[in-house]
A = this chain, B = another copy of it.
Amino acid sequence: MSARVLIVDDLFPNVKLLETKLALEYFDTLAAMNGPDAIAICEKGLCDIVLLDVMMPGMDGFEVCRTLKNNPLTAHLPVVMVTALDQPSDRLKGLDAGADDFLTKPVDDTALFSRVRSLVRLKAVTDELRSRALASRDFGMGDPLALATAETGLNANILLVEDRRGAAERMAAALTQQHTVTIEADPNRAILTAAEGGFDLVLVSLDLENFDGLRLCSQLRSLDRTRTVPLIMLAEAHDRARVARGLDFGVHDYLMRPVDRNELVARVRTQIRRKRFSEVLRGAVQASMEAAVTDGLTGLHNRRYLDNHLGSMFSDARLSDRPVAGLLLDIDRFKSINDTWGHEAGDEVLRTFAERVRLHTRTIDIVARYGGEEVVIILPDAGLGEAQVIAERIRERIEATPFSIQRASRTIPVTVSIGVAVRQATDTGPADMLKRADVALYRAKDSGRNRVEAQAA
């Protein structure tokens, strides 16, 4: 994946050097000579990844990184910190600030390209999700990005695939303060454990006895149930080639042995945050799609849902010559409830009404708010007799217990009138059936309300 790489360094020769290297590999580059400029470029969405020098006058690299990672607009950008020396303390400070990885000057080309490519590829997969979630924010469905950015990355469920007992226990001890850790010493069982366990992250040793840890990583990245779970490889220093290969096929990160306890904790947390960031966004998109077919007040389906489903349900019934019934329910004298007790009380009545109706319908039935105080119920496979029994039960359950309003400070009696109709062979569509239910409903109202009336036979 090609990408726009932002190089942040206060020294022009350093910028030039990285620019040249990246351009030869067909990356596009931008440069910023200080922190505030870099942040402005990121906020404008002009780059895909940031190579960030640590030592800069004014705002240093750690501060720039922290700012980027705490801003919902830029938190998704991968940040690679470039440090002058391989200082463990710098790495930790960077990881604490939310950095995704490190490069040590002088920058090794292979490490640079493999890391940048891998981070950009992982980003590309979530970019689509992020832009949908951004749209849901524009439609006023809350701000999922802010929520996602606030995720702390703690209390995760971690699987550690490691057959060296001492190493496994040391790592588990470091992680159990913040997370729950399961150790799996048998790599042959690991794929099943991972698929069934609902883990937030898997750590895989590349030095397992008689087993290629990289193969396990590849399987985890391939299986539906585990492919979005972040993977971290544990590797010996001489094993850089296999690490690069793993990054190339989608492993998220790695740790070199001997594993530094603090670095382990920090990298695990970064990956957990990244995963949950995606999950929050995915949830937000899902929720706004569910909202599209749900009535906000009652939680019942709305008319849009009914219109979308009723047609196909009706023609399925016609093709297989099976019955369908439609119930039209209308709360009696609802306007006077509103006028006497106020709109809020009217809303309370509607919500309670919806709850009781839902209790007496099945999952396969469609229950939808049709208009102000009208609800439609569609019963697949129900004939007229059965539908009347269900309607009568609902009518009775509404009348039996008065509705509490004004936060349970008062109860009022509520009744419902119901019209029942079933599909007829001559119907050209569901509208015909609903019209008969409507006629029956009017008859119920005319005959004194609190009644069930069925279509004329």
A2, A139, A142, A372 pick with most chain B CB within 10 angstroms: A2
Instruction: List CB contacts (< 8 Å) of A348-363 with chain B.
Output: none
With the chains together, A2 CA to B221 CA distance in Å? 6
Answer yes or no: A59 CB below 8 A from chain B CBs: no
How many copies make up the complex? 2
Answer yes or no: A1 CB below 8 A from chain B CBs: yes
Check B303 against A297 for contact (C-beta < 8 Å).
Answer: yes
Q: Which of B2, B217, B221, B308 contacts A142 (CB 8 A)?
A: B308
With the chains together, A371 CA to B344 CA distance in Å? 12
Check B222 against A140 for contact (C-beta < 8 Å).
Answer: no
Check B2 against A249 for contact (C-beta < 8 Å).
Answer: yes
Separation in Å of the A77 CB from the closest CB of chain B? 14
Label chain A's interface by main secondary structure.
helix
Answer yes or no: A291 CB below 8 A from chain B CBs: yes
Across-interface contacts of A288 in B (CB, < 8 A): 288-289, 292
Beyond A26-B214, A128-B129, is A140–B305 a contact (Cβ under 8 Å)?
yes
Check A2 against B132 for contact (C-beta < 8 Å).
Answer: no
Instruction: List CB contacts (< 8 Å) of A214-271 with chain B.
Output: 214-215, 217-219, 221-224, 245, 249-250
Across-interface contacts of A292 in B (CB, < 8 A): 139, 141, 288-289, 291-292
A125, A126, A214 pick with most chain B CB within 10 angstroms: A125
Instruction: List CB contacts (< 8 Å) of A281-302 with chain B.
Output: 282, 285-286, 288-293, 296-297, 302
Whose C-beta in chain B lies nearest to the C-beta of A224? B45
Answer yes or no: A397 CB below 8 A from chain B CBs: no
Answer yes or no: A164 CB below 8 A from chain B CBs: no
Answer yes or no: A3 CB below 8 A from chain B CBs: yes
Across-interface contacts of A224 in B (CB, < 8 A): 45
Answer yes or no: A53 CB below 8 A from chain B CBs: no
Check A1 against B141 for contact (C-beta < 8 Å).
Answer: no
Across-interface contacts of A289 in B (CB, < 8 A): 132, 135-136, 139, 141, 285, 288-289, 292
Interface flags, A409-442, vs B, CB<8A=1, else 0: 0000000000000000000000000000010000
Check B285 against A218 for contact (C-beta < 8 Å).
Answer: no
With the chains together, A141 CA to B289 CA distance in Å? 9
Separation in Å of the A19 CB from the closest CB of chain B? 13
Answer yes or no: A55 CB below 8 A from chain B CBs: no
Interface flags, A28-51, vs B, CB<8A=1, else 0: 100000000000000001001000
Closest 6 CB pairs of A and B: A140-B308, A2-B221, A26-B218, A292-B292, A291-B292, A372-B372
